[in-house]
Amino acid sequence: MSSSQMLKGILEGCLLGIIEKGETYGYEMIEKLESYGFQMISEGSIYPVLMRMQKEGFVQSVLKASPSGPKRKYYTLTALGQKEYEEFKLRWNELSHSVNRLVEEEIE
Amino acid sequence: MMLSKESEEFIANLKMYLMTSGKNEKEIHEISQELRDHLEDAESRGKTVDSVTGGSPETYLKNLSSEMKFDVFGILKVLPMLILLLAAYFITGSAIRGDLSFSLLSIIAYPVITLFGVVSYINFMRKMSISTWSTKKTMVILMTVQFVISISFLAVLFLDTFILDPLYIYIPSREIMWVIAAAGIATFIAGALWSKSWFTIIIPILLVGPDFAMHFVDVTVTQQLIISSSTLYIGLALVMLFIFLKNRKQTGQ
C-alpha cells in the first residue's frame, strides 16, 4: 500500500465518521473536518473519495434546493457504510495504537 | 452567486476534460454542479480555486477522472448518429452538385482521415483542458493538427485526380442523387433534433446552400466559386461571433 493510498483510506474513514453524524454536503464536510483540526487536506480531494464511496454503496446522495440557488448534493450513510465505519474504527484503533507505541518508545 | 473567472475556467476545463475522456454525461453534470456549489462557498470565504485543486488542476482532474468509469454505452449511443452525420456531410454536397462519384481510394481514405481528425481533435481538447499551455502554444498545436488533416485530404484529392485512374464505384442518375441529397438533409435535421442544437443544420446550409441555390440562377463558374466560398467563411465567422457573444453573456450573468 502506497502512502497516498493509506491517506485516502484514512480520509474515507473520516468522511464516513462525519457523514454518520448527520446528513451533510461537501463544503460542510470540510468545515467539520477543520473543526476537528484537519488542515492538510486539499478541499477538492474529498470529491473523488465521495464518488468511490457512493459507487461502493457506503453513502447515498440526494439533490435538494439550497438557499444560494443551485441544487446541493446531500450525503447520508447506508447500512453498508455504517458497517464499514465500524470496521474502520477497529482498524484505526489497532493502527494508531501500534504507531503510538512505536513513536513513544522512540521518544523515551 | 457569481464565481471568479479562474473558477469558471476550472469548471469549463473540468467538463471538457471529462467529456473528452468519455465519461458519463450525467455524472459530469453532477460533479461540476457539486464543485460549483463548493467553489461558491469557498469564494465567499475568501478562498480561491486552488483550495479545491490543491494547486494542480491537472493532478486533480486526473484523480477525479480515475474514479469515473468509461461510459461505453454512452459512446455506443452517439456513434451511429455521428457516423451518419459525417457520411451526410461528405455526400450531400456532391449529390446536390450532381457529381456523386467516388474512387476506391477516396472511399477508403476519406473515412480514415476523418476518423484520424476526430480522434486528434478530441485528444487536443483533452490535453488542452488540463494543460497550462500559453495561447501561442495552443494555437500552434491546433494549427499543426489542422494543417496535417488538410494536407492529408489534399493529398488524396491530388492522387485521385492526377495520379491514379479513378476506379469509379457507381454513378447514380440525377433522380437518385436528389433522393440521396434529401436523405442527407433529413440526417442533418435528425442530428439537430438529437443534439438539440442548430449546428448540424447551420453548417451544412453554409456548405451546400450556395451550390443548391445556384442550381436555379445563371452564374459563371468563377462567380459560383466566389459566392460559395465567401458564404462559407462569412457564415462560419458569424457562427463564431454568435458563440462568443453568447458565452460572454453567460459568464457575465
Measure the CA angle with vertex B203, ends B249 and B150; round to 5°: 110
State the pLDDT at residue B248: 64
pLDDT digits (tens, 9 = 90+) for B28-54: 999 999 999 899 989 998 888 998 888
Ordered by start, the domain boundaries in chain B are 5-66
- Kindly list the distances between the CA atom of residue B60 and the CA atoms of A95, B17, B57, in Å, as whole numbers in the listed order: 28, 11, 5
Mean pLDDT, 10 residues at a time, chain A of 108 residues? 70 93 92 85 88 93 77 92 94 90 74
pLDDT digits (tens, 9 = 90+) for B70-101: 888 877 878 888 888 888 887 887 777 777 77
Residue among A51, A63, A68, A75 with most chain B CBs within 10 A, to mutate? A51
**φ, ψ at A44 (rounded to 5°):** -65, -25
Q: Does the pLDDT value for residue B197 go beyond 50?
A: yes
The answer to whether the CB atoms of B63 and A73 lie below 8 A apart is no
CA distance A28 to A18: 10
State the pLDDT at residue A1: 45
- CB of A56 less than 8 A from some CB of B: no
A44 → closest Cβ in B36, B53, B68:
B53
**What residues does A76 pair with on adjacent strands?**
A60
The answer to whether the CB atoms of A48 and B52 lie below 8 A apart is no
| pLDDT band per the 50, 70, 90 thresholds, residue B253 | very low
**φ, ψ at B72 (rounded to 5°):** -60, -45
State the pLDDT at residue B247: 63
- Kindly list the distances between the CA atom of residue A18 and the CA atoms of A5, A60, A92, B223, in Å, as whole numbers in the listed order: 20, 14, 15, 72
Residue among A42, A49, A53, A74 with most chain B CBs within 10 A, to mutate? A42
Just give the CATH number of A3-107. 1.10.10.10
State the pLDDT at residue A6: 76
CA distance A106 to B9: 49
ipTM associated with this complex:
0.83
- Given phi > 0 = left and psi -120 to 50 = alpha, else beta, which region is A21? alpha
Class of residue B96 by CB neighbours under 10 A (exposed 0-12, middle 13-18, buried 19+): buried
Which range scores top for mean pLDDT: B98-107, B108-117, B210-219?
A: B108-117
Q: Does the pLDDT value for residue B251 go beyond 70?
A: no
Ordered by start, the domain boundaries in chain A are 3-107
State the pLDDT at residue B70: 87
3-class secondary structure, A60: strand
- Position with higher pLDDT, B6 vs B247: B6
B64 → closest Cβ in A48, A71, A72:
A48
3-class secondary structure, A2: coil
Task: Measure A35 CA to nearest chain B CA, in Å.
Answer: 16
| pLDDT band per the 50, 70, 90 thresholds, residue B202 | confident
Angle, helices B25-44/A26-35, rounded to nearest 10 degrees: 50
